[in-house]
Amino acid sequence: MRYHLQTVVSPMACSLSIPDAPLENRSIFSGALFQFLEENKKWRNRFLFVPDSYNMNYYDNKASHERGLHPKGTINCAGYKVLTSMDQYLELLNNSLPDVKAKVGNAPFLKCATEFLLILWHPYARHYYFCVVTEKEQKKWHAVFQDCVRHTNDGLLEESKVQTPAFTDSVRLFRQAHGQYGTWEMMCGTPPQILANLVMETLLPEVRDLITPGLKGKMHERQRNWMLICDAVYGLVVRQAQAQYEAVVQSCEAGRPLLEASIRTDMDQIITSKEHVSNKIKAVALPKAEKLLKVSIQPYISSILEALMEPTSRGFSEVRDVFFRELVDMSKNTLNDSTKEKLAEHMEKISMLAFHPVKMQSCYEKVEDLSLDGLQQRFDVSSPSVFVQRAQILMREQMDDAVYTFEQILHQSLEDQGPEGLCKSIQRCQDRVIKKFDYDSSTVRKRFFREALLQIFIPYMLKQLTPSVASELPRFQELIFEDFSRFILVENIFEEVVLHSVMKDIMMAVKEAAVQRRHNLYRDSIVLTSSDPNLHLLGDNPAIDWAGEFGTGPEEGQGQDDEEGEETGDTGEAHRRRRMKQVVSMIQLDGSPILVNESCLEVPSVDGIPEEREGEVQDADALSPQTDLEPG
């Protein structure tokens, strides 16, 4: 669908937008946990490192990572689901092979080393099995894994104003040509991954019908073999999609200058021709669209809008609360210690608040309650997860913008006044940013509600109207000059007619919600009296290095680390890895249980498992999942 509502002029945001690369020289998370290895049916201790790309790298141990060795493997989490129980996993696994079901009393799919599981499930790619030793660790890893999925799913560049919309429209039109009009859960990842998902949607049933009759062995062995086959096929499809997509992009870029020159030269004629054809199509399609709108859309707008507003607004409210609590904690701490070093320590943590998956988890959980029960089947919405993920990304962006705005205002305040009266400065900056957050939150949520309603209603309307209108569209193509036929497509004009027919009702519904101040929404006409007309000038400033500017300085710490690097013989890259700051730290619990002192745990229910070579066994002290991280 069209995400940009061209008929709406959005008010200027009051908060600043953070510059690019906010996570530069930082990692998200790292720590040790246990991974189940399919090849030998054993659990092995792994060190997992999550860089700013959110692709998870796992190593034999922490030393391998710090020495700059290649990881044992890398997990791109796009399209995955994070599961915390074997029951959830088996339900999805059984659905992948409908004719192969688990029976009561059957041996478990795998024998878990602990009760605290973490499983990464994908409909086509390899599955990954992890476990930890405490429930608290499980919750933290679960939040980190979900954040990795969330970020890698959002793989389309919004900065590309031409290529990204062209790609998404192409995927949508392809699916519509095959009778699939609703939202699509697997529209996630980079363009090659999305294209591979599109291919697998058709290819997988064919492969399953061809191969599954020949699968032999026990039920779990057949399921495992099927997963290996899926992963191999999917990997092949992704590689081919990558090569072909790059070739198409290069071809389009090569022809783009000539195309743009033609459009600029004939722009007036193209617009006039399009308006003429649009009026013709509108005369045919608009009466049918308005009838469908009155009968099947208008009665449901308010109920769907409410279903979207309630959990989304609670999520944004939680973002506000989390941000406020962090600032209050910092104010309390500065009462006892108002030195610039302490301020730098607090601001270093707050600057990464939006990227802290554990602290943001309470915000994300609020919107996960979003439900469209009773409406999904009517409007062909496969799952609300599309809207949940979009809302969560917007929440993270709002937190990031609020934090960056606070940093810039506070930094400017300290330049003008110095560290004296630090608590009062923090309080004043906090009040200003919270007011701006409320206004920006309202603007962002209203835009999200409009986009979500369009994504729900437009596919349904196109599905209902296309059979009666499609046969009449070719005659309108004849009204377009041949030179303009590349720029004016009657199918696109038809969709625009449908879009504008429902847009008025959607705008009115969202406007009424704002007028009534439901869920703390503001009217578009409201302008904050405390707005800062010169605030946008601060947006040109780079991100503030609080530790370097107000901290103890790099000399003392840097010299000590350099000496350590020389003593240990670290290379420059290994030294950089050791010094890399981390957003999240691992919880250390006194007296937490430790697994038996072996680096591999056998699964006794599996016969004939080859033993590991002696050289592969790790030291006993590398077993327990430990991390040596900053407090976070």
Do the Cβ atoms of 200 and 189 come closer than 8 Å?
no
Based on the fold, state whether residues 497 and 574 are members of the same structural domain: no
Mean pLDDT of 556-567: 46
Using the 8-state DSSP alphabet, how is residue 293 labeled? I
For residue 379, the model assigns a pLDDT of 86
The verdict on 329 and 180 lying in the same domain is no
Q: Is residue 8 part of a domain?
A: no
- pLDDT, residue 113, reads 84
Count of the separate structural domains present in the chain = 3
Q: How large a percentage of the chain has pLDDT more than 90?
A: 46
The residue range of the domain holding 223 is: 163-188+190-265
Give the model's pLDDT for residue 597: 37
- Domain assignment present for residue 61? The answer is yes
Alpha carbon separation from 310 to 315, 379, 449, 464 (Å, rounded)? 9, 20, 11, 29
Distance CA 587, CA 582 (A): 14
pTM: 0.82
Q: Is the pLDDT of residue 490 over 70?
A: yes
Report angle CA 178, 180, 185 to the nearest 5 degrees: 130
Tens digits of per-residue pLDDT, 141-180? 999 999 999 999 998 988 888 889 989 999 999 999 888 9
| Mean pLDDT taken over the chain | 81
Q: What is the reported pLDDT for 614?
A: 39
Q: Per-residue confidence at 84, pLDDT binned at 50, 70, 90?
A: very high
* Residue 57 CB partners (closer than 8 Å, separation 6+): 48, 49, 50, 51, 65, 71, 73, 74, 75
Query: How high is the pLDDT of residue 120?
Result: 96
**Does 90 have pLDDT greater than 60?**
yes
Q: Tell me: pLDDT of 337 over 50.
A: yes
CATH number at residue 71: 2.30.29.30
pLDDT at position 355: 92
Name which residue leads in pLDDT, 206 or 573. 206
Name the pairing type of β-strands 581-582 and 26-27: parallel
Based on the domain organization, do 225 and 336 belong to the same domain? no
19 found inside a domain:
no
Answer with the one of 546, 579, 594 that is the final residue of a domain. 546
Same domain, 493 and 371: yes
pLDDT over threshold 70, residue 64: yes
100-109, 421-430, 568-577, range with greatest mean pLDDT: 421-430
105 and 133 both lie in a single domain: yes
pLDDT band at 628 (very low <50, low <70, confident <90, very high): very low
Higher pLDDT, 60 or 588: 60
Please report whether residue 18 resides in a domain: no
Any idea which residue has 């994908």 for tokens? 122
Asked whether residue 329 is assigned to any structural domain, the reply reads yes
Give the 3-state secondary structure of residue 609: coil
Residue 573: which pLDDT band, with cuts at 50, 70 and 90? low
132 and 106 in a common domain = yes
pLDDT value for 22:
64
Do 253 and 290 lie in one domain? The reply is no
At 256 the pLDDT is 87
Within this chain, do residues 459 and 598 fall inside the same structural domain, yes or no?
no
Report pLDDT digits (tens) over 95-139. Answer: 877 665 555 445 567 888 889 999 999 999 999 999 999 999 999
pLDDT at 116: 94
Same domain assignment for residues 197 and 339: no
Q: Given this model, what pLDDT does residue 577 score?
A: 55
User: What is the rounded average pLDDT of the residues 265-293?
Assistant: 93
- What pLDDT score does 285 carry? 94
Percent of the chain with pLDDT over 70: 77
For the cut 70, the answer to whether the pLDDT of residue 583 exceeds it is yes
**DSSP structure string for 135-151:** HHHHHHHHHHHHHHHHH
Please identify which residue in the block is written with the tokens 């309630």. Answer: 310
Convert the pLDDT of each residue in 350-408 to its tens digit. Answer: 988 999 999 999 999 999 989 887 777 788 887 889 999 999 999 999 999 999 999 88
- Based on the fold, state whether residues 260 and 308 are members of the same structural domain: no
Domain boundary among 512, 546, 580: 546
Both 245 and 183 in one domain: the answer is yes
Does the pLDDT of residue 238 top 60, yes or no?
yes
Task: Evaluate if residue 62 carries a pLDDT over 60.
Answer: yes
* Average pLDDT for 457-479: 91
- Whether the per-residue pLDDT at 443 is higher than 50: the answer is yes
pLDDT for residue 14 is more than 60: no
Residue 602 maps to a domain: yes
Among 202, 232, 265, identify where a domain stops. 265
Could you give the 3-state DSSP secondary structure of residue 236? helix
C-alpha distances in Å from residue 257, one per residue of 24, 161, 260, 487: 34, 16, 5, 14
448 and 526 assigned to the same domain: yes
Asked if residue 626 belongs to a domain, the reply is no
Phi-psi region of 591 (alpha: psi -120 to 50; beta: other; left: phi over 0): left
Q: How confident is the model at residue 554 (pLDDT cuts 50, 70, 90)?
A: very low
In this prediction, residue 542 has a pLDDT band, given cuts at 50, 70 and 90, of low
Q: What is the pLDDT of residue 529?
A: 46
User: Which are the contacts of 530, defined by CB distance < 8 A and separation ≥ 6?
Assistant: 432, 435
The pLDDT of residue 624 is 43
Residue 632 placed within a domain: no
